[in-house]
Amino acid sequence: MQTTTTSAGETAALGRTLARQLKPGDVVALSGQLGSGKTCFVQGVCEALGVRTHVGSPTFTLINEYPAPFGTVVHIDLYRISSMRELAALGIQEYFTERCICLVEWPELAGPLLPPGHVTVGFRHGGGDTERVITIDGGRQ
């Protein structure tokens, strides 16, 4: 499914729409370059999943955990990971359980660690400075 959004608000709304189809245990890979709308989208997803705490960027902390009514939303950002060794040391697999919904930014760096059946959301800059082209694929059937 491909959608073009024209504002940060629309990008967050698309995140809320996806969130309504997510179940505990799901992993969402968010792929796209800097400034392509990933954080906005994640904020929409978290809002719809019932997260009430502050949702920021985990670039520095690598992993942010947000409590939600169903369990925990785990927001992972692999931007700073530079080797398989660092990735292995981070232990992201430990979060892929039925108690968590994981949102993974820069998933290309996770390689084979992402579980099969994960949802892939692709972001790219569209025409003008406000358009974002967002594609959503995959998921557990």
Partner 1 sequence: MRILGIETSCDETSAAVVRDGHVISNIISSQLVHSLYGGVVPELASRAHQRLIVQVVQAALERAGTDRSGIDAVAATYGPGLAGALLVGLNFAKALAFGLGVPFVGVNHMEGHLYSNFLGEQGPRYPFLSLIVSGGHTMLVHVEAPFRHRLLGQTRDDAAGEAFDKVAKMLGLGYPGGPAIDRLAKEGNASAVPFPRSFLEPGSLDFSFSGIKTSVLYYLRDRGVQPGGSAAGALTTTETADICASFQQAVVDVLVGKTMTAAGRCHVRDITLAGGVSANSALRSALQAAAGEQGIRFFSPRMEFCMDNGAMIAYVGWMRRAAGAASPMDLPAIPNLELA
Instruction: Name the minimum Å distance from CB 35 to partner 1.
Output: 3
Applying CB under 8 A, among 41, 66, 106, 123 the residue interacting with partner 1 is 66
**Cα dihedral: 19, 24, 29, 33 (round 10):** 50
- The reply on whether position 111 binds partner 1 by CB under 8 A is no
- The reply on whether position 129 binds partner 1 by CB under 8 A is yes
What is the SS3 string spanning 103-123? Answer: EEECHHHHHHHCCCCCEEEEE
- Give the Cα separation of 50 and 107 in Å (integer): 24
Residue with tokens 């800097």: 34
Q: Which span (11-19, 23-31, 89-97, 112-120) binds partner 1, by CB under 8 A?
A: 89-97
Applying CB under 8 A, among 90, 102, 104, 110 the residue interacting with partner 1 is 90
Residues interacting with partner 1, by CB under 8 A?
33-35, 39-40, 43, 53-54, 56-57, 59-67, 80-82, 86, 89-91, 129
